[in-house]
Structure 1
Amino acid sequence: MPPRTRMTPETRRAQLLDVGEAVFGEGRFEELSMEDIAAAAGVTRASLYHYFPTKADYFAAIWQRAHESLGATTQLDDCETVRDWIVEMLTGYLDFYSRHVQLVLIANRSSIASAPAVREPIADNFRTLCRVALDTAGARGRRRRLAEAAFAGWIAFVRETTLATLVDGAMTPKDNLAMCVATLDATVGAHADLDRRIRGRA
């Protein structure tokens, strides 16, 4: 038999994230132990804890990686205006959420939903989205501060309407997207020029 190849720490971590995403996607998050997950991954419990100290940390890493990959799919320079870019990003997020409802439930309605390890990485992602959007829109001074507050409120709005759509069935995904875009225009758009053309696209 050929010698067994030892994984690098980066490769092992990525493999564990792949396994975790698949296992958590089955909808049994609360009953799963780290020992169960380690067995599914074919590693020892100690090895799993080496990479992820808690189940919340483990899920947070999976959720963060998913958002990072989403952010890389829509390039700013590929869009005509700031608004186009935000809407493209939003559409990508909503599509991802619709395909990973169980992960959405864990992030928002599980025993670890309020854990800093889960909430902070995603909040940081959205803060980055806000910063890039408002920088590109040329928002400054008081209008910038108002737009930042509006953006934070809009993200919370998107979260609630998306849960209502995917989990509670209160509206269709098409209705949700239209409502989120209209709210973006009414809140953030009141304080930042979302129709500003992106440099290089004029």
Structure 2
Amino acid sequence: MPPRRRLTPEQRRSELLDVGERVFGTRPFEDVAMDDIAESAGVTRALLYHYFRTKAEYFGAIWSRAHERLGDARSGIEPPAVRAGVERILQSYLDFYAAHLPLVIIANRSSIARDPAVREPVERTFAGVCAAVLDAAGVTGRPRRLAEAAFTGWIAFVRETTLSAHLDRRITPAENLALCMAAFDATVGAQFPSAPSHDER
């Protein structure tokens, strides 16, 4: 075997995430062992556990990095075109889900779907998007609290209809986008100080 390359801790961690993304992209979470990952990465099991204490934490880091690659989802959410900004962000997430479907299935339909290591990084991202949307729309006071609760429910709605579109194929991606935006208007958007204009729609 060729000698192992010298890498900084950041480079090694990134390399391990690359390997994990490839492996989890082809096999269910339950079928992958950390030994498999270590072998694929050409490192020892001990080194892999030095960077990631559990398999759930490892996948959580992969999932979190994949979301970070979407860029700053909050950019471009500005009045008065708040709804248009939400639709643009939603489309980027739907495209992301389509491109990373095996990872999406693990994150939402596997034994670690509710593990904090998987959920918390993504929930922080969505909380930031929610705050940016409501700030731009000028939602305050009691309507803001209602909108925050509605946004959490809307994210769950988007997740399930998107999985339905890609796994069950009962609806098309275009129908899914329309459903998700209609749900946004009826829940989160209903708390905005004024309804979106026809031009904004």
The residue correspondences of 1:115-194 to structure 2 (distance < 5 A) are: 115-193=115-193
Cα drift, residue 165 of structure 1: 1.0
Instruction: Supply the AA of the counterpart residue of 1:83.
Output: R
Structure 1 residue aligned with 2:9: 9
Cα drift, residue 71 of structure 1: 3.6
Runs of 4+, deviation exceeding 3 Å: 77-80, 193-196
- For residues 171 and 164 of structure 1, the distance between their equivalents in structure 2, rounded to whole angstroms, comes to 7
Structure 2 residue aligned with 1:102: 102
Q: How far does the alpha carbon of each residue in 1:29-58 deviate from its partner, in whole angstroms, 9 at most, with x for none?
A: 211100100111111111111111111001
Ranges in structure 1 where 5+ consecutive residues have no aligned partner: 197-202
The SS at the match of 1:98 is: helix
- For residues 79 and 65 of structure 2, the distance between their equivalents in structure 1, rounded to whole angstroms, comes to 24
- For residues 15 and 166 of structure 1, the distance between their equivalents in structure 2, rounded to whole angstroms, comes to 29
TM-score, length-scaled by structure 1: 0.89
- For residues 39 and 18 of structure 2, the distance between their equivalents in structure 1, rounded to whole angstroms, comes to 14
Cα drift, residue 74 of structure 1: 6.9
Ranges in structure 2 where 5+ consecutive residues have no aligned partner: none
- For residues 108 and 86 of structure 1, the distance between their equivalents in structure 2, rounded to whole angstroms, comes to 22
Change (3 A) 1:183 1:77: closer
- For residues 188 and 78 of structure 2, the distance between their equivalents in structure 1, rounded to whole angstroms, comes to 21
RMSD (Å) for aligned C-alpha atoms = 2.1
The SS at the match of 2:53 is: coil
Preserved CA contact (<8 Å) 1:79 1:85: no
Change (3 A) 1:21 1:78: farther
Preserved CA contact (<8 Å) 2:28 2:106: no
Bigger relative contact order (CA 8 A; separation at least 6) = 1
Of all paired residues, the percent bearing the same amino acid is 59
TM-score, length-scaled by structure 2: 0.89
Cα drift, residue 85 of structure 1: 1.5
Structure 1 residue aligned with 2:56: 56
Instruction: Supply the AA of the counterpart residue of 1:112.
Output: I
